[in-house]
Amino acid sequence: MTVLNFTHPEIRTALPGPRAAQIIARDRAVLSPSYTRDYPFVMARGEGAIVEDVDGNRFLDFNAGIAVCATGHSHPRIVEAIRKQAEQFLHYSGTDFYYESTVNLAERLVQFAPVPTPSKVYFGNSGTEAVEASIKMARYSSGRDKFIAFFGGFHGRTIGSLSLTGSKSVQKKGFGTLMPGVFHVPYPNLYRSPLAPEDCARESVRFIENTLFRQTVPAEEVAAIVVEPIQGEGGYLVPPANFFHELQELARRHGILIVADEVQSGMGRTGKMFASEHFGLQPDIVAIAKGIASGLPLSATIARDSVMNWKPGAHASTFGGNPVAVAAASATLDLLQGELMENARRIGDRMMARMLDWPKKFPHVGEVRGLGLMIGFELVKDQQSREAAPDLRNRLIQMAFQRGLLILGAGQNTIRLCPPLVINADQADFAVATLEGCLKSLSLP
């Protein structure tokens, strides 16, 4: 493997460079127009938290392939695990046959997962597959067919998971009637609520009890409440500390399952293996993907034994639990346990210590929030009205790209920072300083 050994960005050409522009033109001719690309970055190679484009420009990666590359790019231990498994065998469908590596990984995941034991694991390929498995499992186990999800939540784009998604209407436009029996409710948003944090949480849960159950759907027909412990696409919203205590109490009272979508917030990103741990949440089912295998396609749905009670043939996936992806996942867990989860907590705290002052320093920053290396900040037109400023958010993304920092938006007007968990203090400081420079430019008349 070529050792790139870079630690900081270096922009050598006007962006996009000539090779990047050529590839982008070819891309438009043959690839789906449904893809969303915020800026013209064409990946060539990477190491750690630094990526290089096809024109030799180097960037600090603060999106990690949308929170996927938890161990950074081409970590030597991940590459070695993939190589060793590829030399043995590439595939043999763990849904029809057996191999020990899936057993080993499942045994480790049930130890870490916030789901009460005894529990079992179903392997798939992506976050939306993990959510689809959760939907089917909840229906099968409970005998009920209704679901509650939250406005702002993102759970995937296949028909079932898209039905739960309450993020952007464009994601549903043109696809007709989706899965019936899904009801959306407000997710607690401390920045946008006039209530104290504890009351904000209670208000969200009381809406389910006092409005939804009384006027729209009987509680005894609801199979599950599907919720992100920290909303990702919805704007990196961190709920009040008591929210999940209130939600679990309601769910248990009515015999409703809780599905925690940890696709973006899990696998060490928040400084704990799962974001649920910050809130004492013990879901019946948890959906995991993104960072689980450091960039290879893998997902896991973990559920209590009494919930994962479906019969052979009820649900399966030809490629789910692919042995190469499983090898990468096992090596990923080693790295998360050994150093990266703690690094996410430590570097995240370092960044937040500086960023929490931004609303005082920059008139267009509404709120900074997050845990570990899952950090978001809102762009607003002014702090008094708190009116969302998506145009400013989009301008800031482009400005950061031109300065060698790759970031992404979330929700209507939030910047999300979800770098590889390998970033060091110097890289974190560079990112914060770069963003501060961009924010100063936004404030200029």
The structural domains of the chain, with segments of one domain joined by +, span: 1-61, 106-321
What is the average per-residue pLDDT within 343-355?
A: 98
- 48 DSSP assignment: B
Q: Is the pTM of this model over 0.85?
A: yes
What is the average per-residue pLDDT within 351-375?
A: 97
Instruction: Report the pLDDT value the prediction gives residue 1, as an integer from 0 to 100.
Output: 33
Q: What tens digit of pLDDT does each residue of 182-237 get?
A: 999 999 999 999 999 999 999 999 999 999 999 999 999 999 999 999 999 999 99
Paired strand residues for 371: 374
Query: What is the CATH architecture of 1-61?
Result: Alpha-Beta Complex (3.90)
Q: Which of 3-12, 354-363, 435-444 has the lowest mean pLDDT?
A: 3-12
Distance (Å, whole) CA 391 – CA 245: 37
Distance (Å, whole) CA 182 – CA 344: 35
Q: What tens digit of pLDDT does each residue of 263-297 get?
A: 999 999 999 999 999 999 999 999 999 999 999 99
pLDDT at 2 over 70: no
Structure-block tokens of residue 261: 């979508």
Instruction: Report the pLDDT value the prediction gives residue 3, as an integer from 0 to 100.
Output: 43
Name the residue with tokens 């990196």: 236
Model confidence at 26, pLDDT cuts 50, 70, 90, reads: very high
Q: Which amino acid, 127? A: G
Q: What tens digit of pLDDT does each residue of 89-135 get?
A: 999 999 999 999 999 999 999 999 999 999 999 999 999 999 999 99
Q: What tens digit of pLDDT does each residue of 298-327 get?
A: 999 999 999 999 999 999 999 999 999 999
Percentage of the chain modeled with pLDDT above 70: 98
Percentage of the chain modeled with pLDDT above 90: 97
Instruction: Report the pLDDT value the prediction gives residue 443, as an integer from 0 to 100.
Output: 78
What is the average per-residue pLDDT within 339-363?
A: 97
Model confidence at 8, pLDDT cuts 50, 70, 90, reads: confident
If DSSP codes are grouped into helix, strand and coil, which group holds residue 185? strand
In contact, 411 and 153? CB cutoff 8 Å: no
User: What's the alpha-carbon Rg for the chain, to the nearest Å?
Assistant: 22
Q: What tens digit of pLDDT does each residue of 31-70 get?
A: 999 999 999 999 999 999 999 999 999 999 999 999 999 9
Which secondary structure element, helix H or strand E, spans residue 80, and what is its range?
helix 76-88
Instruction: Report the pLDDT value the prediction gives residue 303, as an integer from 0 to 100.
Output: 98
Q: What tens digit of pLDDT does each residue of 373-422 get?
A: 999 999 999 999 999 999 999 999 999 999 999 999 999 999 999 999 99
Is the alpha carbon torsion for 221, 224, 191, 415 positive or negative? negative
* CATH 1.10.600.10 is held by the domain 106-321: no
Spell out a b/e string for 39-63, using b for 16 or more CB atoms within 10 Å of the CB, else e. bebbeeebbbbbbbbbbebbbbbbb
Instruction: Report the pLDDT value the prediction gives residue 47, as an integer from 0 to 100.
Output: 95
In contact, 287 and 299? CB cutoff 8 Å: yes
Instruction: Report the pLDDT value the prediction gives residue 5, as an integer from 0 to 100.
Output: 55
In contact, 184 and 165? CB cutoff 8 Å: no
Name the residue with tokens 């028909």: 159
Query: 321: left (phi > 0), else alpha (psi -120 to 50), else beta?
Result: left
Q: Where are the beta strands (DSSP E) in 131-197?
A: 146-150, 182-185
Domain 106-321 in the same topology as domain 1-61: no
Model confidence at 6, pLDDT cuts 50, 70, 90, reads: low
Which burial class, exposed, middle or buried, applies to 313 when counting CB atoms under 10 A from its CB (0-12, 13-18, 19+)? exposed
**Residue 370 — φ and ψ, nearest 5°?**
150, 175
Distance (Å, whole) CA 428 – CA 438: 15
Question: Across the chain, what does the average pLDDT equal?
Answer: 96
